[in-house]
Amino acid sequence: MIIHLILEGKLEVGEFGWSKPTPEDRKQELHGLNAFVHSSTRGKKCFVGHMSLVVGVRLKDGSFVPPGTVVNTQEKADIQGPIPESLKGFNDEVVKVNTEFAKVYLLMGKS
């Protein structure tokens, strides 16, 4: 995750900006590529799909924001449904693939 902060700005990570996930929660969360969460609070175990935009809202625990969705009102945030069963293991697959990439990169550096 990359966090951008304007000079002299304020960033709070924890109770205000992000929930405090447990290691088990983290296995069930995803912040997709090119997804932006700005001036918002994200609940635990949320899945924010690739290229989504979440602005000025509070996502409840377990929210699923489909890829490419714009959530810019609390009404839109409140209607986001739960993570589909087919995507609940997606984060594990991402970690698995990235771990394999890291192993290959290390091997490439040794040759």
E strand intervals along 26-102: 30-31, 36-38, 41-42, 47-48, 53-55, 58-59, 64-65, 70-71
Sign of CA dihedral 98, 99, 100, 103: positive
Domains in the chain: boundaries = 23-110
pTM: 0.70
Instruction: Tell how strand 53-55 and strand 58-59 pair up.
Output: unpaired
Which position has the higher pLDDT, 48 or 13?
A: 48
**Predicted pLDDT of residue 23:** 65
Give tens-digit pLDDT for 56-101: 999 999 999 999 999 999 999 999 999 999 888 777 787 788 888 8
Alpha helices in the chain, H assignment, sequence order? 23-26, 74-78, 90-110
Q: Which two tokens stand for residue 67?
A: 């890829």
Tell the CATH superfamily of the 23-110 domain. Answer: Hexapeptide repeat proteins (2.160.10.10)
Q: Is 27 or 105 the better-scoring residue by pLDDT?
A: 105
